[in-house]
């Protein structure tokens, strides 16, 4: 059994979502809110993988505890993979979901429906005393032309996953959390943690 692990996020919603996926792995799942001394970590990598490793290595270095860190975002084929690692700040600072969505719709205004393929990608880095590993989760879909639904956040109201007619923001957390990029990546991470705990 693992004693404690740290999820390298201060985002309460994200922490709860990840904690559900990792339930039962360890009695203590901690977040960055448990370590106020850790200053904001500059994610200056050029890929999701680099950014997640920067976070995980930094927090492991500060705490000495097995750390999981993720970096994720939206990649749109017609925009050559943008917004990508800049998903949260696509329209600039400060990060604003609504402004980002407006910019995305504007940038895709001329793109026909059949060329609006996109994917959410999540990369999770696991860093601990005897491990440094990276796993990835992807969910493919398309970007629609207007915001629909109010249950999600970020680009959820514009993203329809393959096999569905509703956006992530219409499907709601329960369905989204079973199939999202983050769920897929953290389920792979869970498997690695289970093997470590054996």
Residue 25 per-residue DSSP state: S
N- to C-terminal Cα distance for the chain?
7
Both tokens of 11, joined, read 């985002």
**Is 198 among the catalytic positions?**
no
With CA atoms as reference, report the closest residue to 120 among 91, 162, 92.
162
Q: Which of 70, 71, 156, 198 is catalytic?
A: 71
In whole angstroms, how far apart are CA 75 and each of 57, 60, 90, 117, 137? 25, 29, 12, 9, 13
With CA atoms as reference, report the closest residue to 6 among 46, 41, 42, 50.
41
Catalytic residues: 71
């Amino acid at each position: 059994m693992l004693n404690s692990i740290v999820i390298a996020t201060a985002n309460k919603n994200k922490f709860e979502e990840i904690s559900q996926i990792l339930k039962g792995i360890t009695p203590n799942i901690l977040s960055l809110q448990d370590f106020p001394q850790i200053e904001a970590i500059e994610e200056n990598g050029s890929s999701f993988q680099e950014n997640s490793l920067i976070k995980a290595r930094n927090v492991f270095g500060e705490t000495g505890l097995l750390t999981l860190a993720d970096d994720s975002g939206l990649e749109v084929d017609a925009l050559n993979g943008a917004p990508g690692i800049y998903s949260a700040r696509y329209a600039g600072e400060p990060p604003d979901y609504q402004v980002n969505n407006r910019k995305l719709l504007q940038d895709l205004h001329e793109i026909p429906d059949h060329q609006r393929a996109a994917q959410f990608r999540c990369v999770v880095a696991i860093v601990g005393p005897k491990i440094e590993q990276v796993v990835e989760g992807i969910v493919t879909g398309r970007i629609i032309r207007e915001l629909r639904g109010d249950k999600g956040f970020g680009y959820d109201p514009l993203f329809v996953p393959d096999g569905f007619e509703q956006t992530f923001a219409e499907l709601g957390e329960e369905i989204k959390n079973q199939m999202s990029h983050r769920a897929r990546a953290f389920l792979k991470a869970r498997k690695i943690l289970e093997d470590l705990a054996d």
